[in-house]
Amino acid sequence: MKKTMLLCLVFLFMGYFCTMDAGDKQFHSEGRGFFMAGFHTIDVGDLSTALTANGYPKVDNQFISMGGCGYAILNDRLLIGGEGHGLVGDKNSANGYELSLVSGYGLFNIGYIVMKKGDLSLYPMFGIGGGGFTLKIVQEQGRTFDEMLADPDRGVELNSGGLTLSVALGVDYLINMSKDAREKGGLAFGLRLGYNYTPLVGDWLYEAAEISGGPEIGITGPFVKLMFGGGGGSTE
């Protein structure tokens, strides 16, 4: 999760750095960076089936997403950038155990602005990257400190990861606050709808050791995210 949040901060400021002139004074440079928040629906059916068959609570398929993205706009249409997100689901309890499932992923993105009216842009986007899950199963609270020391191994943390692909449709609007006709910059708002798919899933790991026979789970499912940030550009 810490690595995911670090990626979010990097992508949030990417929009600013992408506006820097690369040396060609004729080139129209522009970039935007956003904080993103929304919801993911993920296919966790196989994992829930395996958990309930062994007396554990199932996991919900709804996750809250928090993250960030940034992109450069090349030649007034082509988008190049990246994004990172952390996903958190509800904790569930059953038979004296508490279960939580968290996830995170990062993507390299490429898109193209198909409609542009002033500072309003509409664009499809494709992303490729990686992501994973952390499944924690712990005994519910109620033990004393001495009981924990006497028998600490009453929980397990398993990890799984894989290749993540994403297709999305985004729209964002820049509120231009610049008074210089050769430049623009200000706050930006947007919305992104899409679908993630994990074609390749790795084995579950327990303390770096592979665990065979586990259910396959990937960051597969639809999402919706609101975006807030800023950006700018120049026509020098």
What confidence tens digit (pLDDT) does each residue in 114-149 have? 999 988 999 999 999 999 999 988 876 666 777 666
Domains and CATH numbers, the chain: 2-234 (2.40.160.20)
**Which pTM value belongs to this model?**
0.79
For 66-115, write each residue's pLDDT tens digit: 999 999 998 888 999 999 999 998 888 877 778 889 999 999 999 999 99
Q: Are the C-beta atoms of residues 135 and 186 closer than 8 Å to each other?
A: no
- pLDDT given at position 97: 79
Q: Are the C-beta atoms of residues 46 and 216 closer than 8 Å to each other?
A: yes
Rounded to 10 degrees, the C-alpha dihedral 136/106/196/138 comes to 0
Sorting pLDDT into bands at 50, 70 and 90, what band is 188?
very high
Residue 140 sits at φ, ψ, to 5 deg, of -65, 160
Percent of the chain scoring above 70 in pLDDT: 81
Distance of alpha carbon 53 from alpha carbon 45, whole angstroms = 12
Determine the average pLDDT of the residues in 21-29: 46
Q: Are the C-beta atoms of residues 169 and 192 closer than 8 Å to each other?
A: yes
Question: How many of the other CB atoms lie within 10 Å of CB of 72?
Answer: 21
